[in-house]
Amino acid sequence: MSSETMTLNLKIWRQKNAQAEGKLVDYRVENVSPDMSFLEMIDVLNEQLVRKGEDPIAFDHDCREGICGMCSMMIDGKAHGGYKNTTTCQVHMRLYKNGDTIVIEPFRAQAFPLIKDLAVDRGAIDKVMMSGGYISANTGNAPDANAMLIPKPIADEAMDAAACIGCGACVASCPNGSGMLFMGAKISQLALLPQGEPESPRRALNMVHTHDQLGFGNCTNHAECEATCPKGISIEHIARMNREYLKAAFTYHEKNRSEGGA
Amino acid sequence: MVTSAVNHYFKSSIGRKQLIAITGLLLCGFLVGHLTGNFLLLAGPDAFNLYAHKLASLGPMLYLIEAGLALIFLSHLALAVKLNIENMKARGKYQQKTKTGRGTTFASQTMPITGVVLLVFLILHLCSLKFGSYYETTVGGVLMRDLYKTTLEYFASPVATGWYVFAMICAAVHTSHGFASAFQTMGWNHGKYFKNVKRLGLVYAIFVGGGFAFVSIWCHMKGV
């Protein structure tokens, strides 16, 4: 453990609720260990605020090990701080120097209404998922593991897309507030695998429809999403979604296809 | 839930984007044809006038082609305007600069601006050349429009040439993002070849933008 501690200047977005006016407020946080995670640093600040009888900063967090996708915030203008393949909770204070000023804003997009301070409602992502990001499987005994042959490169590609944790960094960093990388990852993952294939046209149509309804923007291929995705998901998955959607729009008929049983 | 898939396509984000992509690629194709014609200016007045005369004597066929081009251009424009309005509404309004430096490029961010420049350019371009001054000449005993003279007369002005070159730089910047972007939007992106698509887009942008600009400067140097 390093014994050197830091003092940092923070500018944090404070906003009581969705209706209230918000603004960046200056804070000074002392005794920050370089071994702390970014969220622990905010915890320290919140403890100081509580001791002073002030309202602590509201921010989302859960697993704190980089897999749940809750810790949404823009650190110095970059989602999750903009470090390669890193979520906010995995950003450590050793990346900063004593006396640094850090600006922290919530994820912003039309589809992500603000709740309080740094906490936003990313429920739109769940709604897109609910409209098609699943497969229908029959109940009963688990099938034999090797009964369904999937080539390794295909399985790997599906896994790359499945790495998405739905954190919303792609939406927050997109200059158009689009959810295409998130949606592309799911549509692509399931279209690659035989388990997802039967429903893939309906999935593509429904998920895109829901995405458009929820106020997400349109992709114009800036690739800012790919640059900030903490799971390193490629925009190749957006391309696969575009293909899947095009195919579905011109070949899919509700009557011709019946998935699952009664 | 979606029931009429094709109907949904023309209303959806991806469907409309793909229409922008396809019309954009068609316009890219048109530019290559146009530039090929422009190179005939270098071959002298007769070659260029004969080519222009051949095109003009297509008659109703030409009107059909022109109507098609206008339709492609106007759909590209209208869809892109709508898309940009939606995106302006959807984006997050941040207090701080939010660029990572690894995604957006100058070209990708200025698509609406370069697009508007090209729209203004196109209107002025049609007014000053296609519907510009009318001279006549005879090539091989056939009376025809002397478009060569109109063109050289137009480019005699340094302002006209400067504006033309500026518009062509905008065209190059616009297509340098648009070309590869159209492939991505249509779903034609695979690790195996997409790097080459990006390179081709860059070569296309430099060739077309540079080609048009070169011919205009050549006309200016040649004088009336």
The verdict on A138 and A237 lying in the same domain is yes
The verdict on A126 and A245 lying in the same domain is yes
The verdict on A195 and A108 lying in the same domain is no
In a domain, B101, yes or no: no
Which residues of chain A are within 8 Å of residue B87 when distances are taken between CB atoms?
175-178, 217-218, 220
Number of domains comprising chain A: 2
A82 close to A76: Cβ distance less than 8 angstroms: yes
Closest CB to B103 among A74, A222, A238:
A222
In a domain, B77, yes or no: yes
Give Cα B112 distance to the centre of its chain: 14
pLDDT in tens, chain A (262 residues): 556 899 999 999 999 999 999 999 999 999 999 999 999 999 999 999 999 999 999 999 999 999 999 999 999 999 999 999 999 999 999 999 999 999 999 999 999 999 999 999 999 999 999 999 999 887 888 888 888 899 999 999 999 999 999 999 999 999 999 999 999 999 999 999 999 999 999 999 999 999 999 999 999 999 999 999 999 999 999 999 999 999 999 988 776 445 554 4
Number of domains comprising chain B: 1
In a domain, B7, yes or no: no
In a domain, A257, yes or no: no
Tell me, what DSSP letter sits at residue B156? T
Domain-ending residue, one of A92, A116, A140: A116
CATH code of A244's domain: 1.10.1060.10
Which residues of chain B are within 8 Å of residue A176 when distances are taken between CB atoms?
87, 90-91
Closest CB to B91 among A217, A245, A248:
A217
The verdict on A217 and A148 lying in the same domain is yes
> Given an 8 Å threshold on Cβ–Cβ distance, is A254 in contact with B3?
yes
Dist CA B154 CA B219 (whole Å): 9
The verdict on A136 and A198 lying in the same domain is yes
Res A256: pLDDT: 47
The verdict on A135 and A61 lying in the same domain is no
What is the span of the domain harbouring residue A50?
6-116
pLDDT in tens, chain B (224 residues): 555 678 889 999 999 999 999 999 999 999 999 999 999 999 999 999 999 999 999 989 999 999 999 999 999 999 999 999 999 999 989 988 887 778 899 999 999 999 999 999 999 999 999 999 999 999 989 999 999 999 999 999 999 999 999 999 999 999 999 999 999 999 999 888 999 999 999 999 999 999 999 999 999 999 87
Distance from CA of B110 to the nearest CA of A (A): 11
The verdict on A171 and A225 lying in the same domain is yes
Encoding tokens for residue A26?
């200056």
In a domain, A164, yes or no: yes
Dist CA B76 CA A52 (whole Å): 58
In a domain, A31, yes or no: yes
In a domain, A134, yes or no: yes
B122 close to B164: Cβ distance less than 8 angstroms: no
Res B3: pLDDT: 57
Closest CB to B189 among A219, A228, A239:
A239
What is the span of the domain harbouring residue B44?
16-84+109-222
In a domain, A59, yes or no: yes
Instruction: Report CA-CA distances (Å) from A38 to A35, A45, A95, A116, B181.
Output: 9, 11, 10, 19, 36
B192 Cβ under 8 Å from any chain A Cβ: no
CATH code of A75's domain: 3.10.20.30
In a domain, B180, yes or no: yes
* CB proximity under 8 Å: B 73-132 to A: 83, 86-87, 89-105, 108-109, 111
In a domain, B187, yes or no: yes
* CB proximity under 8 Å: A 161-180 to B: 172-178, 180
In a domain, A259, yes or no: no
Nearest Cα neighbor of B145 from B218, B221, B217, B54 is B54
Res A229: pLDDT: 96
The verdict on A86 and A144 lying in the same domain is no
Nearest Cα neighbor of A216 from B13, B98, B110, B77 is B13
CB atoms within 10 A of CB A212: 21
Instruction: Report CA-CA distances (Å) from A196 to A134, B3, B17, B159.
Output: 8, 20, 25, 60
Which residues of chain A are within 8 Å of residue B9 when distances are taken between CB atoms?
246, 249-250
Among B98, B186, B198, the residue to mutate for chain A (most A Cβ within 10 A): B98
In a domain, B92, yes or no: no
Domain-ending residue, one of A116, A132, A160: A116
* CB proximity under 8 Å: A 29-68 to B: none
Total-model pTM = 0.92
The verdict on A172 and A104 lying in the same domain is no
The verdict on A102 and A163 lying in the same domain is no
> Given an 8 Å threshold on Cβ–Cβ distance, is A218 in contact with B191?
no
Domain-ending residue, one of A76, A100, A116: A116
In a domain, A262, yes or no: no
B16 Cβ under 8 Å from any chain A Cβ: yes
Res B1: pLDDT: 53
Instruction: Report CA-CA distances (Å) from A230 to A7, A111, A164, A194, A206.
Output: 27, 20, 8, 27, 26
A77 close to B96: Cβ distance less than 8 angstroms: yes
In a domain, A139, yes or no: yes
Res B129: pLDDT: 92
> Given an 8 Å threshold on Cβ–Cβ distance, is B14 in contact with A245?
yes
In a domain, B61, yes or no: yes
In a domain, B6, yes or no: no
CATH code of B38's domain: 1.20.1300.10
